[in-house]
Amino acid sequence: MKALVNYRIVRKETLDTMLQWNKMWLGMDYGYGLMRLHFIPFTRKYIGWGHLGASGAAMLYFPNYDVYIMGSFNQTAYRSKGMNYIFFNVLRKLEKHVRS
Instruction: Quote the pTM value.
Output: 0.84
Q: What tens-digit pLDDT sequence spans the chain (100 residues)?
A: 999 999 999 999 999 999 999 999 888 999 999 999 988 877 778 899 999 888 888 999 999 889 999 988 888 877 777 777 888 888 888 877 776 5
What residues does 59 pair with on adjacent strands? 51, 70
- What pLDDT was estimated at residue 99? 66
For the beta carbon of residue 82, count every other beta carbon within 10 angstroms. 20
* pLDDT score at 21: 97
pLDDT the model gives residue 100: 58
